[in-house]
Amino acid sequence: KKMTNDNLNKLLVFCVLFCAQKTSIVHGAQALETKVALLLHAEPENPKCFAEGMSDLTCFWEEDEERAGSADQYSFIYTYQNENSSECSITALPAAGGKRLYFCRLSQTQLFVPLDIRVFRDDLLIHNRSLFIEAVFLLDPPANLTLTSTGMQGQLKASWLPPSLKYMGDSMMYEVSYAMAGSHIGKVEEVQASSELILRGLQSGTKYKVRIRVKLDGISYSGYWSAWTDPVLMETMPGDLDPLIVSLSLIISLVLTLLSLLVLMSHRRFLLKKIWPIIPTPESKFQGLFKVYGGDFQEWLGHSTGGLWLRPTYFYSEEFPVPLEVLSEVSLGPALPSSALPPKASEALGEEEDEDKKLKRVDPALMEGWRKTPQEHWTMDQLRAIHQHPAPWTQSSLLESHDAYVTLNAQNHSVEEPLDDILEETLPLQVLFASGRTSSESRSDLGSVQQSSGSGRLSSQSSFEYPNHTWPSKGPGYTYMAVADSGVSMDYSPMSSNKIDDIGKGVIYTNEYKNEIPAHRRPIGTPIHFAF
Amino acid sequence: ELSKTSRLFAFLLMLLEWTKPGLSNPLRPICDLRVLKHFIEEARDAEAAMLACKEGRGLAEPVTVPQTKVDFNVWERKTALEQAQEVQSGLWLLNQAIGSLRTSVTNTALHSHIDNSLRNIFSIGQVLRSLNIQEYTPPAGGVAGGEETWRVSSASELLQVHVNFLRGKVHLLLSNAPICHQGSS
């Protein structure tokens, strides 16, 4: 039993060794294959020889299978300088592509001295070569190629184990080839007598494949480039934001912010109004109502009797659009039906053929009424009807007021007078009516009056012509219209268009009343009176 | 740029030797092998020039030159002293041989190469001295024979020996000088 155990143990050990050797043999065979292939490509002379270590030499040559002889037909004779010749034993191995390889391996060599090689086949010299063994080194590729990160952008550190050859460490030259994974275009970097290299200028966040090969530098020792190592893959550090781009974008955003702030500051009032509109409070109208009496209206009323009567009027005059008021003279003719006035006015207007006619700032209700009745003359009845519009003013008070007013003359004599075109929109209320056959024309201080060349016409006068408020009594043909203007511009939608086509035959232009009245012409808030 | 620095380096070395004659002030060890590499390249140039020249290349008489072959197994078995002796004696022989070549060669272009080679041999001697490698004292009676010598009769052979000797034994000795490896493990 013991013997079988021992035998088994021996067998086991033998198997292990054999297997290990087999793998190493396989490895060695593979390495040899690659080297043979390399030299067949790189070396033109025959026999091709290479040294792998400090004291070995392998030589081989190739022959076609058909013409190849057996190994013993060949003889390999080598001679060192100043020495006698020696012979090397030849082994034959089959190769791919119908070829045969003949090998000779020397295990003891002399360097730095010329070596003469001669190959004979059946005493016939087939190959002749003289070489230095230290000049035909073909090393194994470097082992343990590893890639590590250097901690910096776009860099990788490649490190490897140099071939373990004594005395030759300083003479080794490495070539590192690196390319992006998947790409065939790569770069190559050479380094001497080192065991690591930092690859720079790589793209961030990309996978790179790196491989390396070794050769002796050619001063004391030289040889062929080794085979490439298997490629090693490694990804570079992920990209950081380009500092230049970051700083530029920061600067631009800063500049934009400053600009927008400037714009905002310059328009802050306007924006504040839009965003946070001021809620109108009636505090200013009710002096002390909120502050003193805390909103108690009853109390406040009780304490402020004097101002009560004034307030509504004040209130009215500020808030309500005031319509035109017509004042009629006592000595006027028969009363007019209210409905008759507007059509007459429209007819009168319709009679106007002049294209320069303008209609400014008339109460829309009034205007509308005027459109309807196509009567020839202004009648007193119509005017009186208008006068029935409730108003606290008396005729005398109006006439004596300091307000500006415009008079409209209705006259029957025809006087041709040139007219100026009224196109300025800054002119205040100028209402032109054509009627009858009036021809007189009074020029208003506020601007000229348009008149038709027709017979009947109205003329207007401004109160400025009568600075002392001496209202001229022009006879029974006059009617007065008082207009109080609150100073607020209003948009009468029917009047908003510049041209009203549906008023009779004539073309009437209307203009929107604008607030920008020259101060000297008409004080804001004062009523305007139209007088006939 | 490398050759310039090496030249300057060698010149400074010689200058130092000049200014301090006979002083036992130890030189700083020259462990940089680029100096030797430069000398090797110049020796190669000389050999190539000699091969290119057709005439005026012959030696008057055969000269003794050192053996250049290196068997690593054998070399490693030798002691440091033996190695040093081998190198120093070989350099001395070469110095003698190339010196005699100088007189027999008539080509002036070759003269510059030969002078250069002689200067380089001298410089190598200085480098070895800086590495505390023992100097060689030639035996009394002139020419030294021995196992490690042989005789050449052509100038090109001589210069080839010169190149191979520098590449081989001298390089081995310098690269393995113990004083250069004291710092490293």
Amino acid A7: pLDDT: 86
Quote the Cα angle for B53-B59-B60, to 5°: 140
The DSSP output letter for A360 is E
Integer Cα distance of B164 and B156 in angstroms: 12
Burial environment of residue A111 by CB neighbours within 10 A (0 to 12, 13 to 18, 19 or more): buried
- Chain A residues within an 8 Å CB radius of B168: 111-112, 134, 220
* Of A162-176, A336-350, A482-496, highest mean pLDDT: A162-176
Q: Which residue has the higher pLDDT, A338 or A242?
A: A242
Q: Using the 8-state DSSP alphabet, how is residue A51 labeled?
A: B
For an interface test with B, which of A109, A192, A220, A221 has the most B Cβ atoms less than 10 Å from its Cβ? A220
Chain B positions touching A134 (Cβ under 8 A) are 167-168
Q: What is the pLDDT of residues A199-252, one digit of tens each?
A: 999 988 889 999 999 999 999 999 999 999 999 999 998 877 778 888 999 999
pLDDT in tens, B114-168: 999 999 999 999 999 998 888 887 776 555 556 688 999 888 899 999 999 999 9
Closest CA to B171 of B141, B131, B118, B115: B131
Q: A24: Cβ–Cβ under 8 A, 6 or more apart, which residues?
A: none
Distance of CA A196 to the CA centre of its chain: 47
Mean pLDDT of chain A: 71
Question: Which single residue is written with the structure tokens 């604008």?
Answer: A514
Q: If you write DSSP's letter for every residue of A289-341 in order, what string do you get?
A: TTTTSTT-HHHHHHH--TTTTHHHHHHHHHHSPP-EEEE--TT--S---GGGH
Give the model's confidence band at A288: pLDDT under 50 very low, under 70 low, under 90 confident, else very high.
Answer: confident
The verdict on a CB contact (< 8 Å) between A111 and B33 is no
Q: How far apart are CA A497 and CA B32, in angstroms?
A: 103
> What DSSP string runs through A228-286?
PPPPEEEEPPPPPPPHHHHHHHHHHHHHHHHHHHHHHHHTHHHHHHHHSPPPP-GGGTS
User: What value of ipTM does the predicted structure carry?
Assistant: 0.81
User: pTM to 2 decimals?
Assistant: 0.56
Q: What is the pLDDT of residue A208?
A: 94
Instruction: Write the burial class of residue B182 (CB in 10 Å: 0-12 exposed, 13-18 middle, 19+ buried).
Output: exposed
Query: What type of residue sits at position A213?
Result: R
Pairing of strands A480-484, A324-327: antiparallel
In three-state form (DSSP H/G/I as H, E/B as E, the rest C), the secondary structure along chain B is: CHHHHHHHHHHHHHHHHHHCCCCCCCCCCCCCCHHHHHHHHHHHHHHHHHHHCCCCCEEEEEEEEECCCECHHHHHHCCHHHHHHHHHHHHHHHHHHHHHHHHHCCCHHHHHHHHHHHHHHHHHHHHHHHCCCCCCCCCCCCCCCCCCEEEEEEHHHHHHHHHHHHHHHHHHHHHCCHHHHCCCC
Residue A520 has pLDDT above 60, yes or no: no
Chain B nearest-CA residue for A81: B69
Confidence (pLDDT) at A300: 78
Distance from CA of B23 to the nearest CA of A (A): 33
Alpha-carbon distance B151 to nearest alpha carbon in chain A (angstroms)? 10
CB A418 within 8 A of CB A475: no
Instruction: Indicate the SS3 state at residue A176.
Output: strand
CB-based contact, A112 to chain B, within 8 Å: yes
